Amino acid sequence: MAGGKAKKEKAKAPQHMPYQGGISFHKSKGQHILKNPLLVDSIVQKSGVKPTDVVLEIGPGTGNLTKKLLEAAKKVIAVEIDPRMVLELQRRFQGTPHSNRLTVIQGDVLRTELPYFDICVANIPYQISSPLTFKLLNHQPVFRAAIIMFQREFAMRLVAQPGDKLYCRLTVNTQLHARVFHLLKVGRNNFRPPPKVDSSVVRIEPRKPRIEVKLKEWDGFLRICFNRKNKTLGSIFRQKSVISLLEKNYRTVRALELGQKDSLKEADTKTDLASFGDDQGMEMDDDEADDDEMEVEDGETDEVQSEFKDKVLGVLKEGDFEEKRSSKLTLQEFLYLLSLFNKAGIHFS
């Protein structure tokens, strides 16, 4: 200001970083562009793209990975939310031999109806990892594989095995619908701008045929099992709130069966998997994050003298699950235990 002293302002850290072409990358929006050409080649090679494949690329950015995919595939369909990146893609490939084999869709991939594709290759904003994973698993017709760059911890949850520290509800829900393989670890310096964490590329192969299960029932079951994943199942299913919930469900189902036996349908077998991804708790350590999910305190394991409680514990004893822990159960064991509960008329939704 005229006639006064100019105040010295502290330099603020830039919210975005420009690249040589003039486009600014917004870290707040999860924009981290692959800059290592050797890494790009490795991802394309490990994806197993065939010359007859239609490839869905999510988050193409400026097209570094897109270019290699176009060289390997029949067609590439790129979904990009940033209009600046869309223009850059169009500019980059206009007039090239690849231009007629590239289709760019501008929009939010979570709200976009995805077309047919054989393989998905994606370097995504990490904040959409969970909802995107389940959107893809819900896609029809079933694709061959998805090769996706995730934040490393999220990726390791997807591929975790029983007994691993990161084994959680997200792990079991994902592996119910797909086989997941870790392909390679990617350091943060392979991106522009570099993210704060390392990444990993995983390969997701949907199961064919799918494992048939009532998804609402399955989800309710896993929520209880992973409420305290390192406690014994006997301890978890003795909790007053759990017994109360299951007994309420039991009475409801019994009333429906007696009142209208022919009205019970299994429509929720086809429940939209995308809704699973809305649960951010699946990206966290269930033993820490979900402790209050059932509104149960550590000491709330008092004996509940009821015939129904004996029925629940009887199921655990029948399958030899009473002393087992969710953190060490396999997918097949979870499926078997749920079938035992359902056989006894005990339901979770």
Q: What is the DSSP string of 255-315?
A: HHHHH-GGG---GGGG--GGGGGG-GGGGS-HHHHTTTTTT--TT-------HHHHHHHHH
Task: Please identify, among 206, 241, 272, the residue that sits at the C-terminal boundary of a domain.
Answer: 206
The CA distances from residue 104 to 111, 124, 146, 147, 291, in Å, are: 15, 16, 19, 19, 44
Q: Are residues 201 and 217 in the same domain?
A: no
Within a domain: residue 287? no
Mean pLDDT in residue range 271-297: 48
- Quick check: 75 pLDDT over 60? yes
Distance between CA atoms of 244 and 306, rounded to whole angstroms? 11
Is 279 annotated as belonging to a binding site? no
* Same domain? 128 vs 51: yes
Domain co-membership, 94 together with 191: yes
Return d(Cα 86, Cα 92) in angstroms, integer: 10
* Residue count of the chain: 349
Q: Which residues are CB-neighbours of 283 under 8 A, at least 6 positions away? A: 129, 130, 154, 157, 170
- Residue-wise pLDDT tens digits, 173-221: 999 999 999 999 999 888 878 788 899 999 999 999 999 999 999 999 9
The domain total for the chain is 2
Q: Does position 56 have pLDDT exceeding 50, yes or no?
A: yes
**Residue 239's CATH number:** 1.10.8.480
Q: Is 36 annotated as a binding residue?
A: no
Q: Is 182 one of the annotated binding-site residues? A: no
Tokens representing 180?
């997941």
User: Residue 252: which domain range?
Assistant: 213-261+305-348
Query: CA 341 to CA 345: how far, in whole Å?
Result: 6
Q: Do the annotations mark residue 32 as ligand-binding?
A: yes
Residue 324 located in a structural domain: yes
- Residues 110 and 222 grouped into a single domain: no
Pair (129, 109) in one structural domain: yes
Q: What is the CATH number of the domain that holds 77?
A: 3.40.50.150
Q: Is 277 inside any structural domain? A: no
Give the mean pLDDT of 68-82.
Answer: 96
Q: Is the pLDDT of residue 301 over 90?
A: no
DSSP helix, strand, coil percent of the chain (3-state; round to 5): 45, 15, 40
| Across 100-109, average pLDDT | 96
Say whether both 202 and 316 belong to one domain: no
In a domain, 137, yes or no: yes
Does residue 73 sit within a domain? yes
- Tell me, yes or no, whether 147 lies in a domain: yes
Which residue among 206, 228, 249 closes a domain?
Answer: 206
Residue that terminates a domain, selected from 167, 185, 206: 206
Chain mean position to CA 178: 11
Q: Do 236 and 324 fall into the same domain?
A: yes
227 annotated ligand binder: no
Is 123 one of the annotated binding-site residues? yes
Q: Are residues 47 and 147 in the same domain?
A: yes
Alpha carbon distance, N-terminus to C-terminus of the chain: 66
- Within this chain, do residues 186 and 238 fall inside the same structural domain, yes or no? no
The strand ranges marked E within 13-85 are: 16-18, 24-26, 33-34, 54-58, 75-80
The answer as to whether 159 is a domain residue is: yes
Do 60 and 76 lie in one domain? The reply is: yes
Residue 294 pLDDT: 42
Determine the longest span between alpha carbons in the chain, in angstroms: 88
CB 59 within 8 A of CB 80: yes
Give the pLDDT of residue 298.
Answer: 42
Predicted pLDDT of residue 167 = 98
Question: Residue 146 falls within a domain, yes or no?
Answer: yes
Residues 177, 35 share a domain: yes
Looking at the structure, tell me whether residues 230 and 122 fall in a common domain: no
Question: Considering the chain, what is the average pLDDT of its residues?
Answer: 84
